[in-house]
Amino acid sequence: MIQGVSKPALARHHGQPGVGRNKIKMRPMDNTPGGASGPHSPILYLTKVFHFSSSHRMVSPYLSEEENFRRYGKCANPGGHGHNYRLEVTVAGPMDPRTGCVMDLELLARVVREQVIDVLDHRNINEIPHFRQVVPSMENIAHWIWQEIRGRTHPARLHRIRLFETESNFVEYRGE
């Protein structure tokens, strides 16, 4: 069988196997250990998308109030402002020939939910301990997210974080 297509179905679609130019070579899927995840297996990239809403105030503890307003404008207002963030988490690795997957998506979802979403969603990011002395820019938030989930996506490796603050503003971080 070729990926879920039976020989009779192929014969109906392509004519009878072995007859004239419609000859079809049937190769079974490689489900043996070392097949799809052997030494020459392709690396696949798996991305899961998450959403969370948070507020923050762009303010650096190293700048005066005046310098913060000059640098960050209305984003430095004492009341802060909020965003509906879109987070893309991409992992990479070979496909497990037994499961056909790079990693268990439920595991990835649980890791991101517990380490990131539950911490940031409907919160003021400035109140999270890490951001008390760090400007909660989307760059710093993306870097923090990477640190929180790095090493927890086994057997895949964390490849990329994309954090969208708005439809037109996002940051990408690859752990470099």
User: What are the tens digits of pLDDT across the range 112-146?
Assistant: 999 999 999 999 999 999 999 999 999 999 999 99
Outline where the chain has alpha helix (H).
7-14, 65-72, 105-112, 118-120, 138-149
Distance CA 169, CA 159 (A): 20
Mean of pLDDT values over 98-115: 96
Enter the pTM of the model. Answer: 0.77
Q: Which of 75, 88, 101, 148 is catalytic?
A: 75
Q: Which of 56, 83, 143, 165 is catalytic?
A: 165
* 75 labelled catalytic: yes
Domains of the chain: 43-173 (3.30.479.10)
Give counts: helices (H), strands (E), the chain. Answer: 5, 5
In the numeric block, the tokens 């923090």 are attached to 144
* 40 labelled catalytic: no
Q: Which of 40, 66, 122, 176 is catalytic?
A: 122
Task: Check residue 38 and give its pLDDT.
Answer: 57
